[in-house]
Amino acid sequence: MSFSSILLTLSFFFVSIHSSIDPSFRSCAHFFYRQMAPRGARAQGLRPVCQLYRGQPMYATLYDQTRRMPFYSAYIFRGSDGMKMNMFPWMYEPQLFRASETGNMQPFPPAGADQRLEESQAVLADYTNAVAYERGQLNPDQHQSSPAAKAATYTLTNVVPMAKDFLQNHWDPYLDTIRQRLNIYCRSTAYVISGITTTGRTLLRPNARGLTVPKHVWLAYCCPDFDPGMPYSLRYKFPSYAAYGLNEVYDNFVSEVSSKSLEALVKTEMPVDQNFQLFDGNCVGES
């Protein structure tokens, strides 16, 4: 059976997930506060991707093809029960290696990935022997409420290698803390951006280019309309706050910081301009 036949057959069994390469996030700008993506990123190989599901945009990703990993994913939080639905097939983005493709994301073929695909983005084989790491989502399944929104998070263009201990004992609990905080005190839309800083470390693969391991994983939220009657101990964390975690196998942690402090960290660790800003106008509260 040919590669194209395999993909055609799979399309009858799996729900179709779509993406589109958008040079300016035009079709998914609404996932950013004031419809403005973070400014100041200047590394070569960055590709804006509007992640679509059943033709509907679900979130936005700035993908670094040089490192074969997302720089960040931006999504909207509207309330969630925190449940994971990890029965969906992992997907890849055809347009990142073949411009003539449609916007449809597709399940990885059983026969393995095309060489051109491996050169353009992460593939399942990158994680095969990575016993100390897991596929960690930047836009996490547990922050989405509908099955469609959850399904759309299961693409390797939304995933980075996270150390198992860091993910299970620090990052996932932090994500649940944020979920509960925004569920209770954010009265309308919360805009969330989750990203990484990088190091020179890679996940080694025989006879293949390894996948870059993030040094830090970070997240920032902007909730313009919040409950002013929240406990005083939380008031300074609105309308915007952030956190970063040290993505190490040992001695890992997560630390909550102001959004400005997170921006300073990203400026130090990543190729961004000094005017790098997560939220336009630094997220202005309406409450």
pLDDT in tens, the chain (287 residues): 443 433 333 333 333 444 555 557 988 999 999 999 998 888 778 999 988 877 788 999 999 998 999 999 999 998 999 998 878 889 888 777 776 566 767 777 776 666 677 778 888 888 888 889 999 999 999 999 999 899 999 999 999 999 999 999 999 999 999 999 999 999 999 999 999 999 768 887 766 778 899 999 999 999 999 999 999 999 999 999 999 999 999 999 999 999 999 999 999 999 999 999 999 999 987 75
What's the rounded Cα separation, in Å, for the pair 42 and 1?
A: 43
What's the rounded Cα separation, in Å, for the pair 153 and 140?
A: 7
What's the rounded Cα separation, in Å, for the pair 230 and 247?
A: 31
- Residue 99: predicted pLDDT: 64
E strands present in the chain? 17-21, 39-41, 46-53, 56-64, 69-77, 91-92, 104-107, 133-137, 159-163, 190-205, 208-222, 240-246, 253-257, 272-277
- Residue 88: predicted pLDDT: 84
Tokens of 281: 């106008």
Q: Which residue has the tokens 């929240």?
A: 230
What's the rounded Cα separation, in Å, for the pair 102 and 186?
A: 37
What's the rounded Cα separation, in Å, for the pair 74 and 146?
A: 17
Name the nearest CA neighbour of 81 among 26, 145, 18: 145
Grouping H, G, I as helix, E, B as strand and the rest as coil, residue 11 is helix
What's the rounded Cα separation, in Å, for the pair 46 and 49?
A: 10
What's the rounded Cα separation, in Å, for the pair 41 and 71?
A: 9
- Count of other CB atoms within 10 angstroms of residue 26: 11
- Residue 100: predicted pLDDT: 54
Q: What is the enclosing helix (H) or strand (E) of 183?
A: helix 172-185
Residue 61 pairs with which residues in a beta bridge?
49, 73
Q: Which amino acid is at 254?
A: V
- Residue 21: predicted pLDDT: 57
CATH number for the domain whose boundaries are 3-282: 3.40.570.10
